[in-house]
Amino acid sequence: MSITETIFSTVTKPATALAALGLFLAPALAQAQGGSATAGSAGSAASGGTSASTVGTGGTSTGANGATGSSLATGGGGAGGKTMDRSHVNETGQGGLNGQSKAMAHDGGTFSKSQTKTKVRDGESVESRTKTMSHEPGSKPVKSTTTTGSTTGQ
C-alpha cells in the first residue's frame, strides 16, 4: 500500500463514520430544532415597448422551543407607456402574512401585466404564485403562471 493510499484510507474511514452518524442523527436534530419553509415566485411580461415585473418571497420557521417567526416581501414595477404598480402585505391574525403585487404598463392596445400573490402560514407553509400576460393588437395574448410552495414538514 502506498503512502497516498494509507493516508486516504486513514482519513476516509473516520469521515465515513462521521457522515453515517450525521445521517442517523439528522432527523432527530431537525425534529428537535423545529422546521422552516421558504418559497417565492417572480415573473415578467413584455410586449412592444411595455414591460411589467413582480416578485414575492416568504419564509416561516419554528424553533426548538415552539416559537414561530414569519416574513414576506413583495414588489413590482412597469415600464413603457402608462404604468401602474401597487403592493401590499396584510397580517392574517394568526401570525400569517398575505402579500400581493400588481404591475401593468400599456401603450394604446399594447400592454403587459404581472401579478404575484404570496401566502405565509405561520410555522406551517409558504406559497407563491405569479401570473403574467402580454398582448399586442392583432395577436394572441401570451400568458404564464408560476407556482411554488413548501411546508415545514411538521
Q: What is residue 17's predicted lDDT score, i.e. its pLDDT?
A: 40
From residue 114, how far is each of 43, 75, 94 by CA, in Å? 7, 11, 29
Q: What is residue 12's predicted lDDT score, i.e. its pLDDT?
A: 37
Judge if 93 and 114 occupy the same domain.
Answer: yes
Q: What is residue 33's predicted lDDT score, i.e. its pLDDT?
A: 57
Q: Give the number of domains in the chain.
A: 2
Judge if 4 and 58 occupy the same domain.
Answer: no
Judge if 8 and 71 occupy the same domain.
Answer: no
Segments forming the whole domain that contains residue 107 = 35-151
For residue 137, the number of C-alpha atoms closer than 13 Å in the C-beta half-sphere is 5
Q: What is the end-to-end Cα distance of the chain in Å, rounded?
A: 49
pLDDT in tens, 25-55: 434 444 445 799 999 999 999 999 999 999 9
Judge if 42 and 91 occupy the same domain.
Answer: yes
Judge if 103 and 141 occupy the same domain.
Answer: yes
Judge if 90 and 111 occupy the same domain.
Answer: yes
Judge if 110 and 41 occupy the same domain.
Answer: yes
Sign of the alpha-carbon dihedral angle for 12, 16, 19, 21: negative
Judge if 141 and 69 occupy the same domain.
Answer: yes
pTM of the entire predicted model: 0.77
Judge if 15 and 67 occupy the same domain.
Answer: no
Judge if 88 and 51 occupy the same domain.
Answer: yes
Q: Which helix (H) or strand (E) holds 92?
A: none
* More confident of the two residues 41 and 21: 41
pLDDT in tens, 87-108: 999 999 888 999 999 999 999 9
